[in-house]
Structure 1
């Protein structure tokens, strides 16, 4: 071979001068196809040692590093694609963090790689059958490939639904529950059906079902259907318990506490919040803050000022440790904490403190939290009515009502429906009459 000549790392053939790749043309075209080991190549010392461990992660790592692949390990991302999983999942399997014990998965991985049945520590289903073709990618006449080897990946399906759920949560914060309820109800049915397709449930399905059930419970709550909200949130708590997700279980307990408070049962609200706060150390600071705020609200409903203020103080102390981001309680921002504290102070007959907190919070409210901005404005209107600021109260109520008309938030509307009596009892008769007219028009337009 002439000086400077290069060879293909897989077949050893000479590379063309203008080929900047490390593979020759034929090997490069076959890169998308899973390379098959010959029966004898499965019996090398490294492969046999890996198979003797009975850990499929060891087998996959040994397979990627087999000399038959040309001296360089097969990239994880390539093998992951052939197996129908993500690169992250493959990495966790190889490192031993995720141990493959599901027989269906073991069968699929073994068949995909072509491991001889007699070398396996488990019985290969249909070992006497010829099985599927060795390579199921469709090769076109021009050398191009149509990939068809990977099955429908349950893990990717779960991941896709999780992404969709996050998008719906953001939509709810802007537009409210009423548009999403029929959509999420249908999505919940489909997620449930993933567990009824035969075989083992996909990894991550139970937490996904719990998240969808909790979100559906929230949508019913904001739409004003508290019995349905309670039922769906209770189901979410059960699913979270079954999959051993303590953080999600605590979050559903906080949500149950919130529903109990809205249902007029402060004792249950307090008990549920206390149980949620007893979760071990993996409870995030924001989630703990939510539990403390709910505890404060339960005490406020029972007019227990000292206990409520103490819980609010603990919530602020705890919030100081909150980092950015929390997949469950990310909305627990300083603005949200002030709004929830104001809600408790309104209940406790401290409208001045509530007004002060809300006037600090509302200018900082984010556009994507429009529905909760409406609720905050409604609380401000109540606080201002109780301090004798009838005109300011009516103006805040107008703005809250405009948002509630878009989002159909029953929580905001409940606050506003109580407001005319608050105004009237404190001398704001004209403002009470005007607000009643606005409420009547809004309710009629929503029917």
Structure 2
């Protein structure tokens, strides 16, 4: 008797549950990959491998796995695959046609007669976020799903805000790969409920959605996702900020887009930061200060004279002086409420570095990294910039030692922006590659990158 062929390892791991069938296969997944130019299932497998490598997630898939995801029984991807699929498509798993097993087994009784399309809309990634909301929030979410057309629960919006803030705090310590699934689930909840919410609640939901979409863009960028993924979520944030009439949030997303722009595209960075700081809206003073310092960095990158950069930084400090007391940083509270003088000075140092004044950058960063209170992510990022400034100032050994400090902060949580700056520093230090400290940094960074 022929031996029964075992299921491929990656298929067993990724399609972990077979209980849910969709009539006519899974057209949502197929449509999404065709929209992105992946015309064959082999294209999807190749894109999966590239995104997994960018995220540092182990494992590849083959065409059989893609075929399974497009079938009537797509299964439920495991944790690693959920992260990769989210980065690939910029969509929730529900929007790709996947349904968590516990939800397929426990549909509300009044949904069993719904047509397939309507039923699937209730299954789009929403109950996965229930654990983020606590027992009371979970009960409210379940009730809202059953009575979505009559949904008018302002308290549930508060639970979503709290969950988003908790996710943002976790990101500052544990990194983007840990926070991305939670952020995507919150975004899926907002998208789903907003379709049928009462007008009085819809605006609140979309306000939270704009914050969640901007934060999700940030996470994807820091995790090393392709640029189009970050752009997708930034555009969603701008859309929701616009329809809710939140001009300040619209400007803030422009600021974040400027910060996400590659330094080699300084003209675009300048356009975005200038629009954020000077557009037809009023930013809170702390957000205005951050927008002006980003404009200063862009000016430095475009070759503006140092005194022009300095005057723009002076305006940033003047804006910050108009602010009241700083508040704890929050993803859903006042924009840039936790933006402090120490952070402005550290970012100003980056502008001085870009303007060809590395010694001034070193002086500011050394002072404010000692004096300021920074989350692990921010400390890793600014320490990486200090390493680069030291390299530019002709201190290769000190630059390498500082780079190792930044690497120890950034490697485990995968703080992508800090690691990117360290790679830039390693390139600067290439002429000193034989020095022991420099060699140690380059080898350690290569190991992390691989």
Hey, what does 1:165 align to over in structure 2? Answer: 164
Distance 2:322 2:302 in 1: 29
Separation in 2, partners of 1:208, 1:231 = 17
1:365 is matched with 372
Partner of 2:189: 190
SS in 2 for 1:395: helix
Q: Cα distance, 1:281 vs. partner? A: 7.1
Deviations 1:49-105 (A, max 9, x none): xxxxxxxxxxxxxxxxxxxxxxxxxxxxxxxxxxxxxxxxxxxxxxxxxxxxxxxxx
Is residue 380 from structure 1 mapped to residue 379 from structure 2 by the alignment? no
Deviation at 1:391, TM superposition (A): 2.4
The match for 1:254 is 255
CA distance in 1 between partners of 2:434 and 2:347 (Å): 26
CA distance in 1, matches of 2:256, 2:169: 18
| 1:423 CA drift (Å) | 2.4
Cα distance, 1:297 vs. partner?
1.3
Give the Cα separation in 1 of the matches to 2:293 and 2:280: 19
8 Å CA contact 2:406–2:418 kept in 1: the answer is: yes
The correspondence for 1:419, drawn from 414, 417, 425, is 425
1:299 aligns with 2:299: yes
2:404 is equivalent to residue 398 of structure 1: yes
Give the distance between the partners of 2:175 and 2:229, measured in 1 at CA: 17
**2:320 alignment counterpart:** 319
Alignment pair present for 1:339 and 2:338 = no
What whole-Å deviation, never above 9, does each CA across 1:253-289 have from its counterpart, x for those lacking one? Answer: 11112122x2632212212222222356742110100
Q: Is the 8 A contact 1:421 1:432 kept in 2?
A: no
1:439 to 433, 436, 445: 445
Distance 1:259 1:203 in 2: 27
Alignment partner, residue 233 of structure 1: 234
- TM-aligned CA deviation for residue 188 of structure 1: 0.9
User: For the structure 1 residues 264 and 421, does the alpha-carbon distance in structure 2 shift closer, same or farther, using more than 3 Å as the test?
Assistant: closer
Instruction: Give the whole-Å Cα distance in 2 for the aligned partners of 1:259 and 1:393.
Output: 25
Q: Which deviates more, 209-218 or 387-396?
A: 387-396
Q: TM-score, normalised by structure 2?
A: 0.61
> How many Å apart are 1:440 and its aligned residue?
2.1
Q: CA deviation at 1:428?
A: 6.8
Q: How far off its partner does 1:361 sit?
A: 1.0
Contact 1:293/1:341 (<8 A) preserved: yes
* Separation of aligned partners in 1, 2:151 and 2:238: 29
Q: Secondary structure at the match of 1:204?
A: helix
Which residue does the alignment assign to 1:276? 276
TM-score normalized with structure 1 length: 0.62
Structure with the larger RCO, 1 or 2 (CA within 8 Å, 6+ apart) = 2
Note the 1:8-407 alignment, pairs <5 A.
Answer: 153-197=152-196, 200=199, 202-225=202-225, 226-260=227-261, 262=262, 264-279=264-279, 282-304=282-304, 305-323=306-324, 324-325=326-327, 327-366=334-373, 369-407=375-413
Segments of structure 1 that go 5 or more residues without pairing to the other structure are: 1-147
5+ unaligned residues in a row in structure 2: which ranges? Answer: 1-142, 144-149, 328-332
Question: Residue 196 of structure 1: CA displacement?
Answer: 2.6
- Check the 8 A contact 1:386/1:426 in 2, yes or no: no
Q: Matches of 2:413 and 2:335 in 1, distance apart?
A: 22
Q: Secondary structure at the match of 1:244?
A: coil
Cα distance in 1 between the residues matched to 2:178 and 2:433: 39
Rounded to whole Å, the distance in 2 between the matches of 1:425 and 1:351 is: 18
Q: Deviations over 1:217-269 (max 9, x none)?
A: 11112112232112211220121011001111111111112122x26322122
CA distance in 2, matches of 1:426, 1:318: 42
Q: Offset at 1:392?
A: 1.8
Larger fraction in helix:
2
1:428/1:389 CA distance change after superposition, 3 Å: farther
Mapped partners of 1:315, 1:426: distance in 2: 37
- RMSD over aligned CA atoms reads 2.3
The 1-side partners of 2:424 and 2:204 are apart by 44
Does the CA contact (< 8 Å) of 2:433 and 2:439 recur in 1?
A: no
Contact persistence 1:276–1:291 (CA under 8 A): yes
Q: 1:421 to 1:195 in 2, by over 3 A?
A: closer
CA distance in 2, matches of 1:389, 1:419: 12
CA contact (8 A) 1:273 1:294 kept: yes
CA distance in 2, matches of 1:272, 1:433: 38
Is the CA contact 1:230–1:259 (under 8 Å) kept in the aligned structure 2?
no
Match of residue 98 from structure 1:
none
Q: Aligned partners of 2:315 and 2:360: how far apart in 1?
A: 17
Give the conservation status (yes or no) of the 8 Å contact 2:177–2:414: yes
Q: Distance in 1 between matches of 2:214 and 2:203?
A: 19
- Assess if the C-alpha contact under 8 Å between 1:155 and 1:203 holds in 2: no
CA distance in 2: counterparts of 1:252 and 1:242, whole angstroms: 14
